Structure 1
Amino acid sequence: MLGAVSYVLAADGSRKRVRVYGTTRKNVADKLAEKISDSNRSPPVAMADSTVGMYVAYWLNSVAIHRLRENTHARYAASIRLHLNPGLGAKKLARLTARDVRTFLDGLGTTCQCCAQERDSVRRSCCTIGQCCAKRLSPLTVTYVHAVLKSALEHALREDELPRNVARNVKTTAPRPRRFQPLTAPEARQFLRKANGDRLHALHEFALRTGLRKGELLGLHREDLDGGTASIHRSLQPPAPAA
């Protein structure tokens, strides 16, 4: 007996875990597709009463989940949980304005998020004892949160749930691209000499010779290396940040 697990949209807009079983892979895939199809046919919460938080939950778990890679979906979910919901989640979707979005994004970049969300109230540290850590989001993170919101509202616009995408009219400061200075050939050879004997020496040398990203290097399996050729099939990603 074979089985598979996926997530479908529940009636309240949240995501629900479902499991199906079958005798063949095709049988399992058909049953899973039917579950997802049934979920997508269920209408989301009435837009007249929908909040931003309710709609982005519907969009993330019913729409975006089918077109995003797993790690990208996890990053979207983290942005929504950590930033969008605390800042705009309770706002009525139909009443959301460009000013609301601009004020929210400005706050992410200029206000300590520990203080704004009272994250240290349980631990009784940092901001709650008068020693603010001034933990603000980087311009790159603010731009990412903005992009997630724009994507969700763009879908609402396509479904005729909104007359316009107000997040589109808000401009964020473009983050400066980080410039990296690669090692020169003599520096790379010196590094490998110093790393000789280290248990990761082979990984260091492979990284210098191929230029692969860290996630691609760490995602390699032994069977991916064959006859002097490396096949990249996966990338190991860090887990999404916790609340």
Structure 2
Amino acid sequence: MASKLYRYRKNSWRFAVSQGFTKVTDPVTGKTRLKRNQKWFTITARTRKEAEAKMAEILDQLNKGTYVEPSKKTLAEFLREDFIPHLQAKGRSPSTVRGYQINIEQHIIPHLGDLPLEKIAPIHIEGWLNTVTLTNGGRPTARSLQYWRAILHRALEYAVEMDLLPRNPVDKVKPPKVERRKPESFSREELEKILDAAKSSRYYALIATAAMTGARLGELLALRWDAVDFEQGTITIRRTLLDTGNQRTGREPFFKETTKDNEIRVVPMAAPLVSILKNWRKRWIEERMAIGGGYFDRFNLVFPTETGWPMSESNINRDWKVIFEKAGVRKLSPHKLRHSFATRALDAGADLDTVAAILGHSSVLVTKQFYVDSREEAKKSAVNRLADFLLSTGSLDARS
């Protein structure tokens, strides 16, 4: 039997549920009496109608035996103290667990971490997905939002399994829709301008390698010199940088010892790239000697900072925009160099299977989906050139 619902304070309501009686003996008089056992519930609601609906739901759960006691933990405490150890206990690989930790610490906890676990509602999650920004102030892609939502969903699903939540609030929040857009890439003329503008910067070799191999930026930032074979003219891509760490605080960088597609691939280097990397190697040795080895020796990265520490993608995004502006080209993200490699290679006559293998795509369908559409202008140009040729030879009469 439940007591009447009453307002406790603003947006807060209380009611009690009788749980029978207990015999209590007075230690002085020795008399026995019955004491009513009650369990009090506090509900957060703006209106009485909303509070009554929540009260009815709790009573229904009590009758069915499915009621879950609210957890006093915050979301941050649950994620750090329960969910991450759960992943480790389940035998997830260190790189997988670390990937979860990075995304949780950078994108979930700063926005939702202070909320009590029991009070997380769909409105909080939807608000987070609609307003979250990156460290540079920009909006994340829909794919990133989908991934972060999936992490939170998995974490709160574990909370439901452990009877810390009655249901998963993420279920009521639709994942962001990913709109397929035609991938952007730099033209051959733009690439020439970018490389020319970057020649005097520390980024020249990195930009040239990205443009001439199609490797992901994270893969290049994790590249070690022992993966560069000048004699064979190849680069072996076997890992990626997940977390730059922090040199000042001593937080270690984290490298995932596999690529995004969990495969090792060998990418050939064109002769000009071999020369560029050999010249960069000389400068790298000079910088290493200037500080006495240090992180240069420890990490042996091909493209580190001036101290030998891993480069930050956010700093690269910022600095490369300056180079792109100097070159007078569109300020696309560095990742577009990967798109540019694919489209330029296809334009030059390379087949899809070869390009897919170089890029490390799991299927040629991925390559086709992302890059073939971007060649529409090239196809139009080819058709127009053919028409011009036929007109010039008199084979085609535009007046007929």
1:108 aligns with 2:124: no
Question: Contact between 1:101 and 1:170, CA under 8 Å: does it hold in 2?
Answer: no
Instruction: Tell me which of 101, 109, 113 is aligned to 1:85.
Output: 113
Larger radius of gyration: 2
Instruction: Tell me which of 216, 234, 237 is aligned to 1:213.
Output: 216
Percent same amino acid at aligned positions?
25
Aligned partners of 2:154, 2:186: CA distance in 1, in Å? Answer: 38
1:230 aligns with 2:250: no
* TM-score, length of structure 1 as denominator length: 0.53
Distance 1:52 1:150, change over 3 A: farther
Structure 1 residue 209: Cα displacement? 1.0
Structure 1 residue 169: Cα displacement? 2.7
Unaligned runs of at least 5 residues, structure 2: 1-67, 247-400
Distance 1:80 1:111, change over 3 A: closer
Question: Contact between 1:219 and 1:235, CA under 8 Å: does it hold in 2?
Answer: yes
Over the aligned positions, Cα root-mean-square deviation in angstroms equals 3.7
Letter in 2 for 1:168: D
Aligned partners of 1:198, 1:57: CA distance in 2, in Å? Answer: 41
1:51 aligns with 2:77: no
Aligned partners of 1:203, 1:174: CA distance in 2, in Å? Answer: 33
Unaligned runs of at least 5 residues, structure 1: 1-45, 114-134
Question: Contact between 2:78 and 2:117, CA under 8 Å: does it hold in 1?
Answer: no
Structure 1 residue 167: Cα displacement? 1.7
Which residue of structure 2 lines up, in the alignment, with residue 61 of structure 1? 84
Question: Contact between 1:219 and 1:236, CA under 8 Å: does it hold in 2?
Answer: yes
Question: Contact between 1:109 and 1:138, CA under 8 Å: does it hold in 2?
Answer: no
Aligned partners of 1:112, 1:74: CA distance in 2, in Å? Answer: 16
Higher RCO structure, 1 or 2 (CA under 8 Å, sep 6+)? 1
Distance 1:239 1:199, change over 3 A: closer
Letter in 1 for 2:211: L
Distance 1:139 1:190, change over 3 A: closer
Letter in 1 for 2:241: L
Distance 1:189 1:153, change over 3 A: same
Question: Contact between 2:74 and 2:116, CA under 8 Å: does it hold in 1?
Answer: yes
Question: Contact between 1:215 and 1:235, CA under 8 Å: does it hold in 2?
Answer: yes
Question: Contact between 2:228 and 2:236, CA under 8 Å: does it hold in 1?
Answer: yes
Aligned residue pairs total 167
* TM-score, length of structure 2 as denominator length: 0.35
